[in-house]
Structure 1
Amino acid sequence: MAMSSEPKYILSAGLGRFASQDANAAKHFGPQASEKTRELLATSIAKAHDAGFEVIGEDVNPSDPDDTIKRFAAQLESRKWVAVNVGYGVRGNKEHTELFERVLEACRTVRPEAKIIFSNGPDEVMAAIKRNFPEDFQ
């Protein structure tokens, strides 16, 4: 596995602390969905770190899309990102379609050079990284 000395930063948009408020997340992860998703994401972040990537999460609040986009855009502007990961909780729920579109539009306008990648859950962030940066895992 090739590792560069500089970490590669990935911003990850997921439900995070707001997962327990989402019916689909609660159905999948249980009544403590927020804690479970944060725990799974922490494991993914540790694996990514070991591979030379720094994953920084930004919690998406479907109940407050304006605040979410404000925080997300500030994160996008804060550093050079090699990728932005959008979790399944954000993009896999038809009630979140408008918010998902706004997240992608912020990526396109603020950090067009960053790859857009998609994880299928907080425990699958590393799979998305491997899929989109295969050269780092040869």
Structure 2
Amino acid sequence: MANRSDRRTGDSSCPCGLGTSYAACCGALHDGSKQAATAEQLMRSRYSAFVVEDAPYLLRTWSAKTRPRTLRFEAGLQWTGLEILGTEGGSAFHTEGTVEFRASYVGGDQHENSYFTREDGLWVYVEPTTAGTPANRR
């Protein structure tokens, strides 16, 4: 796996798994030259941001309603892949949607169904869902 500095310069494939270079894929979202068109694209870019430890991007794409003040990365955590298991809504024509994913790391994985919405026209991550309902709507 390429190191984090290689990913930031676009010298390797994007961690999100779409098979393009980091610079042409999630890197363009991270640097602000593009915006996510769908909830899935935002999910993929947020996974990549965890891989390259881009806290400003993660905080910027987190809903103002649920965003933490700071974000810390677990030392030594090595992400190994992202699998999108399903989506509901979240297209360029929707205002909300969910993305179910499995993000793998050395020693385990994280399985979540995430809720996304638009704020000021841009897709943002809100929170994990429970049985298809965002946690704050239970």
Q: Comparing both chains, which one has the higher relative contact order based on Cα–Cα distances under 8 Å and sequence gaps of 6 or more?
A: 1
Q: Which has the higher strand share?
A: 2
TM-score by length of 2: 0.30
TM-score by length of 1: 0.30
Q: Which has the higher helix share?
A: 1
